[in-house]
Amino acid sequence: MSHANAMLTPKARFKLAQLVVEQHWTITEAAKHYMVSWPTAKRWVTRYLEHGPEGMGDKSSRPRRSPNRTPGKLVKRIVALRWRKRLGPVQIAGRLGIPASTVHAVLVRCRVNRLRYIDRLTGEPIRRYEHTAPGEMLHVDVTKFGNIPDGGGHRYLGRVEGGKNSRTSAARSGYTRSSKHPRNGTAYVHTVLDDYSRVAYAEIHHDEKAVTAIAVLQRAVAWFAGQGIITKRVLSDNGSAYVSKAWKAACAELDITAKRPRPYRPQTNGKNERFHRTLNDGWAYAKFNGAETTRREALPGWIHYYNHHRPHTALGNKPPVSRLNSLPEQYN
Q: What pLDDT score does 163 carry?
A: 80
Q: Which long-range CB contacts under 8 A does 8-13 form with residues at least 24 apart?
A: 8/34, 8/36, 8/40, 8/44, 10/56, 10/57, 10/58, 11/56, 13/44, 13/47, 13/48, 13/56
The whole-number pLDDT of residue 40 equals 92
- State which residues of the chain have pLDDT below 70: 1-5, 116-127, 173-182, 325-332
DSSP annotation string for 85-101 = H---HHHHHHHHTS-HH
> What is the spatial order of strands in the sheet that 257-259 belongs to?
200-205, 186-194, 138-146, 233-235, 257-259
Q: Quick check: 186 and 145 in contact, CB under 8 A?
A: yes
Alpha-carbon span 225 to 223, nearest angstrom: 5
pLDDT computed for residue 126 by the predictor:
62
What's the pLDDT at 174?
64
Q: Could you state, in order of their start, the residue ranges of all structural domains in the chain? A: 10-56, 70-125, 138-147+185-323
Residue 169 has what pLDDT?
78
- Residue range 138-147+185-323, CATH number: 3.30.420.10
